[in-house]
């Protein structure tokens, strides 16, 4: 009798674990991989390497649960507007191609209306289980324009080691050109708070002016957010950093191989 009770408990626990697993998979299979709060609370914050306590944090969750090929409303902090995303993939024999493009209209009371066009293309080779991406000059590009003002953002390909067991760390360098000729840089983040292990895919970005971190994108305070340093409050740079972080949000969203055919 005791063995029967023990077996039933094991079976019940197994069913509960399976139910939880299927619940997670169901949410991860959504249009934008939205995660319920009871799972989200367990996810650690990104390690930005700086104290962002005094920074402005604009949540990006309003962009979740949206669909491609549809004009979606945008509302983040003081910004409003629309965005439309397109993703596609194709393959012929061993050669494949993944493409994405995003049209964004961004409106701000002080900075006016900006039009953002972001696009990316990655060419792949896959033969008998051996696969790699063929490098171009850049993997992703955003052109942001308002009148004669223009900001450009380029995401460079990550360096792939010749020999490696397991997934490589996709260290991304980003180059941002401003209307006045200055340049900002961004770097990908691969660690969460309290962990030394680096994750292969970027979990966020820090945006820098020279060696000073002035903004970021990633998980902060249990929320996915765009972060703007208090050092650039009420300046043009604050606006440029926000737009750059928004462009990087779409890069992260479109770079997922599993999501390119959605």
Mean of pLDDT values over 52-76: 89
Taking all residues of the chain, what is their mean pLDDT, rounded to a whole number? 81
Q: Per-residue b/e over 38-59, b at no fewer than 16 CB within 10 Å? A: eeeeeeebbbbeeebeebbbbe
Give the pLDDT confidence score for residue 12 in this predicted structure: 45
Instruction: Select the more confidently predicted residue: 6 or 196.
Output: 196
Give the pLDDT confidence score for residue 160 in this predicted structure: 74
DSSP 229: -
How many other CB atoms sit within 10 Å of the CB of residue 195? 11
119 touches 101 (CB < 8 A): yes
Mean of pLDDT values over 165-173: 84
Of 9-18, 52-61, 210-219, the one with minimum mean pLDDT is 9-18
How many other CB atoms sit within 10 Å of the CB of residue 256? 13
Q: How far apart are CA 61 and CA 32, in angstroms?
A: 10
Give the pLDDT confidence score for residue 9 in this predicted structure: 45
145 touches 177 (CB < 8 A): no
Give the pLDDT confidence score for residue 20 in this predicted structure: 46
Token pair 């030394």: residue: 196
Exposed (0-12), middle (13-18) or buried (19+): which is 6, by Cβ within 10 Å? exposed
Statement: residue 262 has pLDDT above 60: no
**Best CA proximity match to 147, nearest among 111, 194, 173:** 111
pLDDT tens track for 178-231: 999 999 999 999 999 999 899 999 999 999 999 899 999 999 999 999 999 999
Mean of pLDDT values over 145-169: 85
Instruction: Select the more confidently predicted residue: 189 or 67.
Output: 189
218 touches 49 (CB < 8 A): no
The pTM of this model reads: 0.79
Q: How far apart are CA 228 and CA 206, in angstroms?
A: 10
User: What are the Cα distances from residue 232, in Å, to 55, 91, 110, 242?
Assistant: 10, 45, 15, 11
Q: How far apart are CA 258 and CA 201, in angstroms?
A: 13
Statement: residue 256 has pLDDT above 80: no
pLDDT-derived band at 127 (thresholds 50, 70, 90) equals: low
Give the pLDDT confidence score for residue 187 in this predicted structure: 97
**Best CA proximity match to 167, nearest among 35, 257, 46:** 257
Residues in a beta bridge with 207: 186, 215
Statement: residue 159 has pLDDT above 90: no
Let me know the angle formed at the C-alpha of 144 by 115 and 119, rounded to the nearest 5 degrees: 95
DSSP 39: H
């Amino acid at each position: 009798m005791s063995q029967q009770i023990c077996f039933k408990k094991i079976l019940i626990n197994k069913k509960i674990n399976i139910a939880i697993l299927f619940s997670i998979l169901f949410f991860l299979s959504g249009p934008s991989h939205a995660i319920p709060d009871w799972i989200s609370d367990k996810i650690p914050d990104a390690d930005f390497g700086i104290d962002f306590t005094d920074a402005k944090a604009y949540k990006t969750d309003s962009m979740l649960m949206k669909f491609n090929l549809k004009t979606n409303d945008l509302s983040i902090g003081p910004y409003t507007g629309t965005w439309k995303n397109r993703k596609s993939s194709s393959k012929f024999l061993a050669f494949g191609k993944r493409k994405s493009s995003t049209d964004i209209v961004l409106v701000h009371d002080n900075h006016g209306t900006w039009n953002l066009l972001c696009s990316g293309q990655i060419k792949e080779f896959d033969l008998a289980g051996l696969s790699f991406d063929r490098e171009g000059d850049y993997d992703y590009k955003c052109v942001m324009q308002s009148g004669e003002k223009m900001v450009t953002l380029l995401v460079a390909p990550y360096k792939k080691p010749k020999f490696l067991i397991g997934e490589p760390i996709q260290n991304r360098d980003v180059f941002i050109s401003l209307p006045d000729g200055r340049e900002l840089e961004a770097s990908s983040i691969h660690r969460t708070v309290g962990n030394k292990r680096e994750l292969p895919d970027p979990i966020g970005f820090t945006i820098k002016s020279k060696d000073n971190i002035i903004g970021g994108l990633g998980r902060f305070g249990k929320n996915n957010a765009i972060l703007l340093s208090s050092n650039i409050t009420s300046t043009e740079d604050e606006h440029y950093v926000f737009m750059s972080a928004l462009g990087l949000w779409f890069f992260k969203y479109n770079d997922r191989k599993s999501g390119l055919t959605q």
